[in-house]
């Protein structure tokens, strides 16, 4: 796909970018491979962590510029863009402060002798990333891999080329050597060629199921490790004893943040019958109160979708859902306004044979289901091909904890929307992918966990 910036607020083309040639990709690979075999990767931990500290400072110093770039490129509300940029700084700082402890050798008691596991870099890896969090997604890969000493060749989504370059520039400005993080404007075929190259040792992908399946298959063919952070159809369970005002307020936010384009957004609201009417009324009021407008206008509460194609896809999905029997409770069409705006929408009465029941809606469209028991809520929650996150609202924490343990996802939050923080693992099960990013778990995905044993009892 051509790399270009098109403002989602009005679909004006702002800038086009030349793609990298195969020769340029080869040069990037040579640099990454050489860096991996240098002192930078093999033993220079402290100076690598100092660069992450510097990067965190630089990101904070450039907060407004970065936030504006994201808002103009993919339509995120400016306040949310600022939040994303700030989170990126905290991820860089988190790994700068904690990576050495995470990577310290771990002793193993063994009858074979003195044994321990060391953590070493594996070599250059590829990152394939989506546009919906155009800086955070990159930082989730950069920070742990920079700390470990793995150079990264990064292919960002073709609709956020300026974010991709701005990020790469800051990494260099922070003191990273050439080859540590290379932004490449490349095609899917060029990604496949990289994965086939012996100098590449893994791939981290965040994106759709289709992209994940394709890239993971290419990696598997060449026996390379992959991590996949894919889509979700997360539940937001509202129990009869919850604080309803809080549940509705957080629920609306969990569905409408980033114009609904969040992998862990609340996509299926599962509501106990006793509170279902009140919940639906209040959710409707919240959705009706949104103000569409420019992502750069601080008073806007619902921005445009990221692209014309995204708007067309969502429009078709909702039309099909209704055609197949769902009830359109609110909204249900593009907003009569230039740009890629879609109405805040609520669908109810979605039967299991409606394709919408299993689909991810990547936009401001809530599905509301009503259940009569906790058991029914769990069954409905788990009746999904996805398994990313989920939320449960209840004032009975023991009840919510029991339910959380039974939900088949990688993350469950009680009395909060599905959130993220540098110190918490992020990832899913089922078709939401495999592997974890962030936290101590994320840094171990692309390391050689090398066992060393000194044989014999005398060595102990
Ligand atoms: P997408 O179309 O899969 O694109 C994601 C990235 O993959 C882009 O860089 C894209 O490049 C690239 N790509 C697509 N097909 C490829 C292939 N066959 N080979 C190599 N690269 C390929 O995803 P999207 O629609 O932009 O993003 C939204 C999806 O990501 C949603 O499903 C969302 O839930 C998921 N997501 C998951 C997480 C998570 O952490 N689990 C976080 C954010 C988003 P081009 O742009 O050039 O096509």
Name the segment(s) of the chain with CATH classification 3.40.309.10.
Answer: 235-414
Q: Assess whether 229 carries a catalytic annotation.
A: yes
Q: Name the residue with tokens 């702002």.
A: 14
Where does 222-334 show beta strands of DSSP type E?
225-229, 235-238, 268-272, 327-330
pLDDT at 16: 97
Q: What is the CATH number of domain 235-414?
A: 3.40.309.10
Q: How far is the CA of 237 from the centre of ligand 1 (A)?
A: 27
Q: What is the mean pLDDT of residues 148-160?
A: 98
Give the distance (Å) from ligand 1 centre to CA of residue 431: 14
Residues contacting ligand 1 via CB (< 6 Å): 1, 128-132, 155-158, 188, 191, 206-208, 211, 214-215, 229-232, 263, 360, 362, 388
**Mean pLDDT, rounded, for 188-206:** 98
**Which has more confidence, 10 or 457?**
10
CA proximity to 426, closest of 388, 400, 374, 397: 388
Count of CB atoms situated within 10 Å of the CB of 353? 8
**Is 163 in the active site?**
no
Residue 458 has pLDDT above 60, yes or no: no
Say what the pLDDT of residue 44 is: 82
Counts for the chain of helices (H) and strands (E), in that order? 15, 20
Task: Tell me which architecture the domain covering 3-230+432-453 has in CATH.
Answer: 3-Layer(aba) Sandwich (3.40)
Ligand 1 centroid–CA 456 distance in Å is: 51
Q: Which of 20, 424, 25 is nearest to 196 (CA)?
A: 25
Q: Which tens digit of pLDDT belongs to each residue from 267-285?
A: 999 999 999 999 999 999 9
**For all residues of the chain together, what is the average pLDDT?**
97
Positions of CATH 3.40.605.10 in the chain: 3-230+432-453
Ligand 1 atom with minimal separation from the 133 CA = 43
How far, in Å, is the centroid of ligand 1 from the Cα of 230?
A: 8
Catalytic residue among 242, 263, 360, 445: 263
Query: Residue 438's pLDDT band (boundaries 50, 70, 90)?
Result: very high
Tokens coding 165: 């370059």
Q: Which of 16, 137, 207, 317 to mutate to test the pocket of ligand 1 (most atoms within 8 A of CB)?
A: 207
């Amino acid at each position: 796909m051509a790399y270009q910036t098109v403002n989602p607020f009005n679909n004006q083309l702002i800038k086009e970018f030349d793609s990298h040639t195969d020769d340029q990709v080869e040069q990037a690979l040579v640099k990454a491979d050489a860096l991996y075999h240098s002192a930078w990767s093999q033993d220079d931990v402290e100076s690598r962590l100092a660069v992450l500290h510097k990067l965190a400072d630089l990101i904070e110093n450039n907060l407004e510029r970065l936030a504006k770039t994201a808002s103009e490129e993919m339509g995120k509300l400016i306040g949310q863009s600022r939040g994303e940029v700030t989170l990126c700084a905290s991820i860089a700082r988190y790994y700068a402060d904690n990576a050495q402890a995470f990577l310290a050798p771990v002793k193993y008691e063994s009858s074979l002798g003195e044994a321990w596991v060391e953590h070493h870099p594996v070599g250059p890896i590829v990152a394939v990333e989506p546009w919906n969090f155009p800086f955070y997604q990159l930082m989730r890969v950069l920070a742990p891999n920079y700390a470990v000493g793995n150079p990264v060749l990064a292919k960002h989504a073709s609709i956020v080329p300026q974010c991709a370059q701005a990020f790469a520039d800051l990494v260099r400005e922070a003191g990273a050597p050439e080859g540590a993080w290379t932004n490449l404007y490349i095609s899917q075929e060029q990604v496949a060629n990289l994965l086939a190259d012996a100098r590449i040792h893994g791939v981290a992908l965040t994106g759709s199921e289709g992209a994940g399946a394709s890239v993971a298959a290419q990696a598997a063919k060449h026996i390379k490790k992959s991590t996949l952070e894919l889509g979700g159809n997360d539940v937001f369970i509202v129990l009869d004893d919850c604080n309803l005002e809080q549940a509705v307020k957080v629920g609306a936010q969990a569905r409408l943040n980033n114009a609904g384009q969040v992998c862990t957004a609340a996509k299926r609201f599962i509501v106990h019958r006793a509170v279902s009417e009140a919940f639906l009324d209040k959710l409707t009021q919240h959705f009706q109160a949104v103000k569409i407008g420019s992502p750069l206008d601080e008073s806007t509460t619902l921005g445009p979708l990221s692209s014309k194609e995204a708007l067309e896809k969502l429009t078709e999905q909702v039309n099909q859902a209704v055609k197949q029997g769902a009830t359109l409770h609110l909204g249900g069409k593009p907003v009569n306004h230039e740009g890629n705006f879609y109405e805040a929408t609520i669908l109810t009465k979605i039967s299991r044979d409606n394709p919408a029941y299993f689909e991810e809606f990547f936009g401001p469209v809530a599905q509301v289901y009503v259940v009569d028991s906790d058991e029914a809520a769990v069954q409905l929650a788990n009746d999904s091909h996805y398994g990313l996150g989920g939320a449960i609202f209840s004032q009975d924490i023991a009840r919510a904890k029991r339910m959380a343990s039974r939900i088949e996802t990688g993350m469950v939050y009680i009395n909060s929307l599905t959130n993220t923080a540098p110190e918490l693992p992020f990832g899913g099960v089922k078709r939401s992918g495999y592997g974890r990013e962030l936290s101590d778990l994320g840094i171990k995905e692309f390391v050689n966990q090398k066992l060393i044993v000194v044989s014999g009892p005398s060595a102990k």
